[in-house]
Amino acid sequence: MKAIVLEAPNQIVYKDIPKNNLLDTISVLVRPRVVGICGTDYHAYRGKQPFINYPLVIGHELGVEVLAVGSDVTHLVPGDACAVEPYIGCNEQDGNLCYSCRRGHTNHCTRLKVLGVHIDGGLCEQFVVPSNKLHRSSKLDYEQLALIETLAIGYHAVKRSGITKNDVVLVVGAGPIGLSVIQSVNLVGAQVSVLDVNDKRVQFAKKHFGIQNSFVDPVVMAKERTSVSSGEMPTAVFDATGNTKSMESSFDYAASGGKIILVGFNRENIVINDEYFHRNELTLMASRNALPHDFTDLITLMEDGIIGTSHWISERANWNSLVKKLPVWCDSTELIKGVVEIT
Ligand SMILES: [Zn+2]
Ligand SMILES: [Zn+2]
């Protein structure tokens, strides 16, 4: 079957790969219809994604059509439209649950394999996936379904943070992950500001995501906060950059008693001044991936029109154009979300 494969860093090609349509009793054969492309894919393309073994079929943000179901699958039928939760954990591998999975934290399973990252993903004609990883909707279109994984990252981070409408939130980084955080903070009803050095991204966030304040310069932000709100700084700072310096700076922005939630990540050490951390009794947490109910919650919120997604997609490609467009998207400073339609 046809697939789009990363052969090596900076090498994306069309390739014939063996078709996998072997269904066990609890699996489902699906056909990807829309695939979202994100920072993880760009890092994989550039060779900067540490977990990747090439060659790899990328694609983990997936709106798929069900083609056939295993004999024990009762909640899906051919033709159903689904979002894919691309996190394949212990339960789906061999059923020997790790400590995280035993406690229901499948988002950080110690043996986690993410479709399109650790194992082949969805830029292909069809693939087999465990049925519990499919979240069906009879109302959403494939583009909306392909967006759900991105939205779930922010949704999960906001839930994990435990913020309420009384919090003052700062989101650092206005790329797709930052926007997904902002979208979920809006659901909580807390005041939200954004900081990003890229003014175009800040303007986009301002236009579409109802933020109260926006900043491109942290020094200005610190000054304005001080004058506007008598020194009140954010009670929750979400870092969605994955940039070491930015992550370290997040501690300076938080109010005394505030929380820092690192959503973006990298492999480096981050340095914390412990005196400052203790003096202000700060809380630090990480947020990784998302849980099954984050996917189902979002489907309901989107079906009910509480979350709108019309402004999310800024670029589209099809099967034939992706190989040319991916390197361009990769270098774009304005792109919010590119999706590939597979017909
Ligand atoms: Zn992604
Ligand atoms: Zn596990």
| Ligand 1 geometric centre to CA of 157 (Å) | 14
| Mean pLDDT of the 83-105 span | 97
Q: Which ligand is nearest to the CA of 92?
A: 2
Question: Looking at residue 289, what is its pLDDT?
Answer: 97
Question: Looking at residue 282, what is its pLDDT?
Answer: 96
Q: Tell me how far apart the alpha carbons of residues 216 and 172 are, in angstroms, rounded to a whole number.
A: 10
* Residues 215/193, Cβ–Cβ less than 8 Å: yes
| Ligand 1 geometric centre to CA of 176 (Å) | 9
- By the CB criterion, residues less than 5 angstroms from ion ligand 2 are 89-90, 98, 101, 109
Residues with Cβ < 8 Å from 33, sequence gap 6 or more? 63, 64, 65, 81, 142, 146, 341, 342
Looking at the whole model, is its pTM more than 0.85?
Answer: yes
| Ligand 2 geometric centre to CA of 53 (Å) | 21
Q: Tell me how far apart the alpha carbons of residues 123 and 120 are, in angstroms, rounded to a whole number.
A: 9
| Ligand 1 geometric centre to CA of 305 (Å) | 23
Q: Tell me how far apart the alpha carbons of residues 272 and 66 are, in angstroms, rounded to a whole number.
A: 48
Question: Looking at residue 215, what is its pLDDT?
Answer: 84
| Ligand 2 geometric centre to CA of 93 (Å) | 9
Residue with tokens 């949704």: 155
| Ligand 2 geometric centre to CA of 105 (Å) | 8
Residues with Cβ < 8 Å from 310, sequence gap 6 or more? none
| Ligand 1 geometric centre to CA of 146 (Å) | 10
For residue 254, the one-letter residue type is A
Is 230 a residue whose pLDDT tops 60? no
Sign of CA dihedral 230, 236, 240, 244: positive
DSSP designation for 117: T
Is 227 a residue whose pLDDT tops 80? no
Q: Which ligand is nearest to the CA of 122?
A: 1
Residue 155 pLDDT class (50, 70, 90 cuts): very high
Q: pLDDT by residue (tens digit) across 44-74?
A: 999 987 778 899 999 999 999 999 999 999 9
Query: What value does the mean pLDDT of the chain take?
Result: 93
| Ligand 2 geometric centre to CA of 103 (Å) | 9
Q: Which ligand is nearest to the CA of 91?
A: 2
| Ligand 1 geometric centre to CA of 330 (Å) | 13
Q: pLDDT by residue (tens digit) across 239-269?
A: 999 999 999 999 989 999 999 999 998 889 9
Question: Looking at residue 212, what is its pLDDT?
Answer: 79
Residue 90 pLDDT class (50, 70, 90 cuts): very high
Residue 86 pLDDT class (50, 70, 90 cuts): very high
| Long-range Cβ contacts of 282-285 (<8 Å, 24+ apart) | 282/251, 282/254, 282/257, 282/258, 283/258, 283/259, 284/251, 284/259, 284/260, 285/160, 285/161, 285/259, 285/260, 285/261
CA 319 to chain centre: 22
| Ligand 2 geometric centre to CA of 59 (Å) | 22
The dihedral region occupied by 242, where left means phi > 0, alpha psi between -120 and 50, and beta the remainder, is left
Q: pLDDT by residue (tens digit) across 156-169?
A: 999 999 999 999 99
**Strand, coil or helix: 14:** strand
| Ligand 1 geometric centre to CA of 278 (Å) | 34
**Which of these, 174, 195, 282, lies nearest to 236 by C-alpha position?**
282
Residue 214 pLDDT class (50, 70, 90 cuts): confident
Residue with tokens 């990807």: 32
